[in-house]
Structure 1
Amino acid sequence: MTGAWWGAVLGLMLALGGVLTWAGLPVSRRVKLADRVEPYLDRPARRSSLLALDDPRPWSAGELLTPVAARAARLLDRLLGGAESVRARLHRAGMAGDVEAFRVQQVVWGVLCSALAVLLGMVLWFTRGTSPGVVLLLVGCAFLAGVMIRDSLLSRAAGRRERQIMAEFPAVAELLALSVTAGEGTAQALERVARLSRGELAAELDLCLAQARTGASLPEALHGLSRRTGIGPIIRFVDGLVVALQRGTPLGEVLRAQAADAREAARQELIEEGGKREISMMVPVVFLILPVTVLFAVFPGATMLRLAM
């Protein structure tokens, strides 16, 4: 490594230290709303530090890295955007709609991939003399790859939960129709189904009932379910429940029809999936089984011709 590269590395470290020092100064910190309101709140008297049984260390690594991770997450959110899309996918995956926490996870994944890229770059540097610029480019690409991998995992989790909800929907709709036909009200039927069922859709119904008990109206809580899931059959299911609650219309036949439609949609999806699998199964048949069959058919004749010659 030449002196010019050593100077560049030392200059980069000095600049990074200056930036971190400026970020840690009180002048560059944002004043949070909680910090502004806290002096005007009544707080219980603090215990003496002599009676505290906490860890005697003055700081921990988590307390030091949390503000840095939060700032990196906010910067990543400004660069990538799409906060509403991320929040919708978090709700669809059954997670809390905390976009900042998800951005922090993306930063952590990016840093881990960057660390692996740094190790690989060091190996390439010392063994093959790779240029430091190539190593930095590799580290940047690894960071972006970690961010995108975490985003892809969120999308997969949302899709997997949606498929599970759609698999549970026909049974839940039929149970609800049976309860309504037996004479129970819509709210009582929802409570019975949520209590007796297990799964993601039952958990969503239980959450709606909990929101209704804490002050929200049941139609508002049901509309929250449709917003969190974002699935077409579930939205129509919720609309039917809301209309029945507001207008008192009969609900049993509507729920049975929705359950039949959901089963038909699931059967159609299975047929389409079977068609795709049939095409993919042609690959081993054509490239593995058929050549072996032809070889077994041709090899004895070729052997006899060789012996005859």
Structure 2
Amino acid sequence: MSASLTGMLLGLAAAVGLLLAVTFAPPFRAVRLVDRLAPYVHDAPPPSRLLGTATEPGLLVAVRRVFGPLVADGARFVDRVLGGRSAVRRRLDALGAEQTVEDLRVEQVVWGGIGLLGAALLAGTGALVAGSVNLLSVALLGLAGLLGGVLGRDWWLTQQVRRREELLLAEFPVVAELLALAVTAGESPTAAIARVTRLSGGELARELGGALGRARAGVPLVQALQEVADRTSVDALARFVDGLLVAIERGTPLAEVLRAQAADVREAGKRRLLEAGGRKEIAMMVPVVFLVLPVTVLFALFPGLISIVSLAR
């Protein structure tokens, strides 16, 4: 590494450190309402760690303790720029996660920092190989890494929600038929839900078990089940919950409705498999047409082409 490049990197690091120190110094830092009220409000003693586990991941705890003010400002900036808090909250509810929108913004800041660090390492490696530094390329690469990390966390949240909804659809027919069997045997819908959630596992059973737990804690069962339907965008699950609500409120027969819904979901699953098979069949034609067929034609025509060239000589 040349002396000029070393001096430039050291100067850049010193300038960034000085800028951070001046920006977050007490005279220049805005005083929050929480800081103003803190001397007059006594905090409740924290609960013992033996009574439960932390609800947020350890990475978030470590990042907030080490880079607390910087990460908080970054999370607020990301929230202002991206917006869409209601959509993010809806996807978190559909995922069944206990984290808040602020926790997701902090994760986006962390992912953006990791992307920026990866871009810096890549730029440094390129500068070492080339022996020179292109500041425009480094800036664009760093910006791409930062944006890729921030937007990549949002994309990953969408993928998690879609994967969970696919699991809900896959588990729905079995759970619906188990409920139908329990109701046919003479149990009430509440007792049938309790039995099915106790004997089965999976995302749908966990959702129904959570609704049943909230009902036992004092929330009306109808409201708890309606919250399950509101959190998801799966139409079959919403119809399933509507059938349960009608059966609980009016006492209508439920077994045949559940069996019909399970059959509908199975038919929809078969249609999705056929559609996926059709798409895969078209995708399989790409290597056949553009790779196998040209090679076959080349092998078929190559002897004749050699003969023509030899005769032309």
TM-score tier after normalising by the smaller chain length: 0.7 to 0.9
Note if contact 1:88-1:97 (Cα within 8 Å) is conserved in structure 2: no
Q: Which amino acid aligns with 1:200?
A: E
Distance in 1 between residues matched to 2:148 and 2:165, nearest whole Å:
26
Aligned residues: percent identity?
45
- Give the alignment partner of residue 19 of structure 1, picking from 23, 40, 43: 23
Distance in 1 between residues matched to 2:248 and 2:88, nearest whole Å:
32
Alignment of 1:109 with 2:111, yes or no, is yes
Q: Which amino acid aligns with 2:102?
A: E
Distance in 1 between residues matched to 2:184 and 2:63, nearest whole Å:
59
- Displacement of 1:118 after TM fit? 1.6
Distance 1:32 1:19, change over 3 A: closer
In the comparison of the two structures, how many residue pairs are matched? 291
- Residue 212 of structure 1: aligned partner: 215
Note if contact 2:112-2:147 (Cα within 8 Å) is conserved in structure 1: yes
- Give the alignment partner of residue 280 of structure 1, picking from 279, 283, 292: 283
Alignment of 1:253 with 2:259, yes or no, is no
> What TM-score do you get using the length of structure 1 for normalisation?
0.82
- Residue 54 of structure 2: aligned partner: none
Alignment of 1:177 with 2:180, yes or no, is yes
Distance 1:16 1:70, change over 3 A: closer
- Residue 234 of structure 1: aligned partner: 237
- Residue 167 of structure 1: aligned partner: 170
Note if contact 1:125-1:132 (Cα within 8 Å) is conserved in structure 2: no
Distance 1:32 1:260, change over 3 A: farther
- Displacement of 1:275 after TM fit? 1.0
1:63-93 deviation per Cα after TM superposition (whole angstroms, max 9, x unaligned): 2313432232122111111111112212222
Distance in 2 between residues matched to 1:38 and 1:89, nearest whole Å:
35
- Residue 270 of structure 1: aligned partner: 273
Distance 1:80 1:228, change over 3 A: same
- Residue 74 of structure 1: aligned partner: 76
Q: Cα RMSD between the aligned structures?
A: 3.1
- Give the alignment partner of residue 222 of structure 1, picking from 215, 222, 225: 225
- Give the alignment partner of residue 89 of structure 1, picking from 88, 91, 95: 91
Alignment of 1:150 with 2:158, yes or no, is no
1:110-130 deviation per Cα after TM superposition (whole angstroms, max 9, x unaligned): 001101212233344453533
- Displacement of 1:29 after TM fit? 3.6
Distance in 2 between residues matched to 1:23 and 1:285, nearest whole Å:
68
Alignment of 1:190 with 2:193, yes or no, is yes
SS at match of 2:98: coil
Note if contact 2:64-2:71 (Cα within 8 Å) is conserved in structure 1: no
> What TM-score do you get using the length of structure 2 for normalisation?
0.81
- Residue 291 of structure 1: aligned partner: 294
Note if contact 1:23-1:29 (Cα within 8 Å) is conserved in structure 2: no
SS at match of 1:28: coil
Distance in 2 between residues matched to 1:163 and 1:61, nearest whole Å:
33
Note if contact 1:241-1:251 (Cα within 8 Å) is conserved in structure 2: yes
Note if contact 1:240-1:254 (Cα within 8 Å) is conserved in structure 2: yes
SS at match of 2:277: helix
Q: For structure 1, list consecutive stretches of 5 or more residues without a partner in the other structure.
A: 45-59
Distance in 2 between residues matched to 1:143 and 1:16, nearest whole Å:
18
Distance in 2 between residues matched to 1:296 and 1:178, nearest whole Å:
63
Distance in 2 between residues matched to 1:37 and 1:303, nearest whole Å:
95
Distance 1:302 1:15, change over 3 A: closer
Q: For structure 2, list consecutive stretches of 5 or more residues without a partner in the other structure.
A: 47-61
SS at match of 1:173: helix
